Structure 1
Amino acid sequence: MKYFDKFHPDNFYHIYNHAVGDENLFRIHDNFIFFLNRYNKYISPIAKTFSYCLMPNHFHFLIQVKNEEEIRRLARNNDDEFYFHKFIMQQLSNFLNSYAKAFNKQHNRRGALFLDFTRRKAINDEFYFSRIINYIHQNPVHHGFCKSAADWEYSSYNSIISVNKNTKLERNAVFDWFGGIEEFILFHQKEKFVDFEI
């Protein structure tokens, strides 16, 4: 299984990382919120987000990297040799470093917070899309934090089904994959957790 696929324009990726050792990434509610704010600052400009889940000691996101024209414009780079993957990785690094510095300061700790490399797995077929979204949303159930995906506050599940509320998630595209909101909910109720050996 390849854990470190290169980033390419318009491609979909499951990205995830874990805290070092027995550390937690999030100790209090405000940590979760601040993490999502940092994500919005650094990652939303370079990628569309389809689902996420923040667990106490790790996180998951399903994203689609934006096209090369948008990324070049953001990077202010028109060189013939534009290292697309390197720029995306730098944004990801800036995001995690920004969070880690603030977390360390708040909790009076030192040293690395995340594992060295954020794993990223390219997603290439629609069969996998719906199952990886379910996998991401079922993480807190699998780890014993709640009984259903809807019970976990720190995932995209409730934002996706709250159709009367605005969201930066790609809600309509998610519903298209599942065949609508009812099918989305039913899939999560029936399929439960499927381990993709990530």
Structure 2
Amino acid sequence: MRVIQTIEPGYYYHIYNCGINGTNLFNGSDNYEYFMGLYEKYIYKVADTFAWVLMPNHFHALIRIKDVEDIVENINPERVQNPFGVCDAEKITKYVTQQFSNLFNSYAQAFNKRNKRHGSLFEKPFKRKRVDQANYFKNLVLYIHNNPVHHGFCQHPIEYPWSSYLSCISIKPTKLRREAVIGWFDGMANFKTMHNEKVEVIELEKWFEI
């Protein structure tokens, strides 16, 4: 029986999920854009994002749940009152999990309405794995960015528009934790070099226990 990890403040996680029974989650660019808009609405206030990719029937993200104080401040910037009481970690954990549920439920409702379908869209519960090894960060970024290459959608991550790779190599403002990611690769040159090399996605999947 698979043990579902609790999402706790201050930790890194690999978040991933797919469409139920392999169904597509995204049918066009407007779907991808709408999902990312909801992601910004619900997730950015509780988590920092370091890498992501949206594929037609699944997605991956590397995130870090914000510290308790930052989550509380994002909910109540004026700090007039802590909505969770004094360091109520259990309530905060439930709130973070609820934000992910809000993301998936909101997207599924809109997707179902537009496509005249009913029922669940995402596998439940969504999958999460705590990241606690130094090598995991860099390899997971490579895995996420090379997912479109592995599935035959492009020859190089730069050709795929629905991942964080383009934000990583850009100089445009972004909410992605770009500097931290580039730092894991010891600089932009090495980041690009390692993304130019062939990545054995299947071997990484075994390592990540996907």
Q: TM tier, shorter chain? A: over 0.9
Partner amino acid for 2:27? Answer: R
Give the structure 1 partner of residue 79 of structure 2.
none
Structure 1 unaligned segments of length 5 or more: list them. Answer: none
Q: Per the alignment, in what secondary structure is the counterpart of residue 146 of structure 1?
A: coil
The CA RMSD measured in Å over matched residues stands at: 1.7
Partner amino acid for 1:88? Answer: V
Q: Per the alignment, in what secondary structure is the counterpart of residue 21 of structure 1?
A: helix
Tell me, in whole angstroms, the C-alpha distance in 2 between the residues paired with 1:197 and 1:80: 33
CA-CA distance at 1:125 after TM superposition: 2.1
Tell me, in whole angstroms, the C-alpha distance in 1 between the residues paired with 2:102 and 2:13: 18
Tell me, in whole angstroms, the C-alpha distance in 2 between the residues paired with 1:149 and 1:2: 32
Tell me, in whole angstroms, the C-alpha distance in 2 between the residues paired with 1:44 and 1:3: 26
Tell me, in whole angstroms, the C-alpha distance in 2 between the residues paired with 1:149 and 1:125: 24
Identity %: 43
Tell me, in whole angstroms, the C-alpha distance in 2 between the residues paired with 1:137 and 1:49: 14
Partner amino acid for 2:129? Answer: K
Tell me, in whole angstroms, the C-alpha distance in 1 between the residues paired with 2:2 and 2:70: 27
**Are the aligned partners of 2:68 and 2:87 in contact in 1 as well (CA < 8 Å)?**
no
Change (3 A) 1:122 1:29: same
CA-CA distance at 1:9 after TM superposition: 1.6
Give the structure 2 partner of residue 115 of structure 1.
123
- Could you tell which deviates more after superposition, 12-21 or 143-152? 143-152
**Are the aligned partners of 2:108 and 2:121 in contact in 1 as well (CA < 8 Å)?**
yes
Tell me, in whole angstroms, the C-alpha distance in 1 between the residues paired with 2:63 and 2:88: 25
The count of aligned residue pairs is 197
With normalisation by structure 2, the TM-score equals: 0.88
CA-CA distance at 1:57 after TM superposition: 0.3
With normalisation by structure 1, the TM-score equals: 0.93
2:181 maps to 1:174: yes
